């Protein structure tokens, strides 16, 4: 019985362990989902902030370029206009040029052709352009990492800052083949929209992209105003260390403008899963985030380690407490039970008997006592050994357990002696039960032996307010009487 009970305890502990494992799984899943939600919120916030910074940067440059347009357009519409710098115009071979300096900001105007061939409309346009110099200076000093500001005229001259260069005809002609010009002229830009070029390598300035806007006067295309933006400042706007994925700033053609990863000139961003996109700068650009799923999982696990350890610690404490409670029950069981038969031992029997007798006295109930002793048990040990003796005691205990109720107290009171206290039972009923037990035991067969097991029983009923020791002494005398009268019998008194 003790083994069965211990087995039940083991399965109970095992069930608790499985339950705690399920709780751990649920807890880990909850922690991961919560951390993933926080990660995604943080990711979106970072990307939103980056997109706002980049969008703000381009909006400022847009404001610059439209300010240049407004000033230039107003100048072109003036009937009378001149500029003192025009008096410094020089002819060199088949180009003409003007070099200007304003507060250490140098600028140059270079055109193709002869001075005597310049018409009045072109001169008026040059005057208008030269008045952009203070605004050029303001833009270049704005700390927005703008490398060049320039106006390219349809009449084959260019005004650029900062510059002190005098360019030749071949170099000037090559300007009109570049993307900032070809994509902005009315043929390719009939709606006169703001144009952002793909990135290109400008020797000495690094990777650049150009923001350009066509200039018209009285519905006539005049030229293109442009700002060259360094890609470096765009890369700096993209947080590098916070997000584990790749961030790309791409144009409408999916060509990469900036990134927190290395990229080549005019690299195209291929379509891939796990993408988050944010449109910026009037949908001319997109901020694209490509997530590395495995690195994301690792990052979430790392950020949730403290919570996981806390969960494991709490569940471990719960398991330990449950284990201690079950262990305490096991200790109590072992302390109160006979190790061979799993019946109550002598000490536990006396304690429980006192409790039962208190109930008997309180409610005036009948209680009876049976004291049983295996006849000639010493001969069993001497003849067959202690192993068979132990088997005999266990088989007798099993018969006692089967013939009694859960409300009765059954104990191994001595070596081969058993004490049974029957609740709510008078001596007549107790005697009947004793005889049934005696008959069952007399029919007991021990395997591999020819043993004939018999028992002697003393049977008596409790007297009100009688002490336990007196009660036991009376039944003990009846047991000895049964032995004196030849054994294998029940004596009632």
Q: Catalytic amino acids?
A: 416
* C-alpha triplet 273, 275, 277: angle, nearest 5°: 150
**Beta strand extents in 121-205 (DSSP E only):** 146-153, 157-161, 195-196, 200-202
Q: What does the radius of gyration of the chain's CA atoms come to, in whole angstroms? A: 52
User: β-pairing, 220-230 with 490-492?
Assistant: unpaired
**Residue 408 CB neighbour total at 10 angstroms:** 20
User: Do 48 and 247 form a contact (C-beta atoms < 8 A)?
Assistant: no
User: Do 244 and 289 form a contact (C-beta atoms < 8 A)?
Assistant: no
User: Do 238 and 261 form a contact (C-beta atoms < 8 A)?
Assistant: no
Could you say which DSSP state residue 339 is in? T
Could you say which DSSP state residue 344 is in? B
Largest Cα–Cα distance in the chain?
158
DSSP string, 258-314: EESS---TT-B----SSEEEEEETTTTEEEEEE--HHHHHHHHHHHTHHHHHHHHHH
First CA to last CA distance, the chain: 32
Residue 271 to residues 268, 275, 277: CA-CA distances in angstroms? 10, 9, 12
DSSP string, 127-147: HHHHTTHHHHHHHHTSSS-EE
Residue 412 to residues 43, 207, 393, 396, 488: CA-CA distances in angstroms? 73, 97, 9, 10, 19
Token pair for 32: 């991961």
- Of 364, 361, 383, nearest in space to 451 by CA: 383
Could you say which DSSP state residue 414 is in? S
């Amino acid at each position: 019985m003790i083994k069965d009970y211990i087995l039940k305890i083991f399965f109970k502990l095992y069930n608790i362990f499985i339950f705690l494992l399920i709780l751990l799984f649920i807890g880990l899943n909850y922690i991961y989902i919560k951390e993933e939600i926080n990660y995604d919120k943080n990711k979106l916030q970072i990307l939103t902030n980056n997109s706002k910074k980049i969008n703000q940067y381009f909006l400022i440059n847009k404001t610059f370029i439209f300010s240049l347009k407004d000033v230039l357009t107003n100048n072109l519409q003036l009937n009378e206009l001149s500029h003192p710098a025009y008096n410094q115009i020089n002819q060199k071979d088949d180009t003409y040029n003007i070099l200007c300096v304003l507060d250490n900001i140098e600028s140059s105007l270079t055109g193709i052709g002869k001075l005597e061939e310049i018409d009045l409309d072109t001169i008026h346009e040059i005057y208008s352009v030269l008045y952009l110099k203070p605004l050029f200076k303001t833009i270049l000093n704005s700390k927005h990492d703008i490398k060049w500001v320039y106006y390219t005229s349809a009449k084959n001259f260019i005004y650029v800052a900062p510059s002190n260069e005098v360019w030749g005809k071949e170099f000037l002609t090559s300007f009109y083949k570049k993307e900032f010009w070809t994509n902005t002229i009315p043929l390719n830009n009939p709606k006169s929209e703001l144009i952002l070029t793909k990135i290109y390598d400008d020797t000495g300035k690094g990777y650049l992209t150009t923001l350009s806007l066509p200039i018209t006067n009285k519905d006539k295309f005049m030229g293109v105003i442009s700002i060259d933006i360094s890609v470096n400042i765009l890369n700096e706007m993209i947080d590098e260390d916070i997000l584990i994925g790749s961030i790309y700033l791409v144009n409408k053609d999916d060509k990469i403008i900036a990134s927190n990863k290395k990229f080549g000139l005019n690299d195209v961003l291929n379509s891939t899963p796990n993408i988050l996109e944010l449109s910026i700068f009037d949908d001319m650009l997109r901020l694209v985030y490509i997530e590395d799923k495995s690195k994301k999982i690792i990052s979430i696990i790392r950020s949730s380690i403290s919570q996981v350890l806390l969960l494991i610690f709490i569940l471990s404490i719960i398991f330990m407490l449950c284990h201690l409670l079950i262990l305490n029950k096991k200790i109590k069981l072992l302390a109160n039970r006979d190790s061979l038969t799993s019946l109550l031992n002598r000490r536990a029997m006396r304690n429980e008997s006192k409790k039962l007798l208190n109930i008997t006295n309180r409610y005036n109930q009948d209680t009876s006592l049976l004291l049983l002793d295996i006849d000639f048990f010493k001969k069993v040990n001497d003849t067959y050994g202690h192993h068979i003796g132990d088997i005999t005691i266990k088989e007798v205990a099993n018969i006692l357990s089967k013939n009694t109720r859960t409300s009765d107290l059954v104990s191994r009171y001595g070596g081969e002696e058993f004490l049974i206290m029957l609740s709510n039972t008078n001596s007549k009923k107790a005697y009947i039960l004793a005889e049934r037990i005696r008959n069952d035991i007399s029919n007991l067969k021990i395997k591999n032996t020819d043993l004939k097991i018999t028992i002697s029983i003393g049977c008596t009923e409790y007297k009100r307010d009688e002490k336990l020791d007196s009660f036991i002494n009376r039944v003990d005398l009846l047991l000895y009487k049964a032995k004196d009268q030849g054994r294998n019998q029940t004596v009632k008194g």
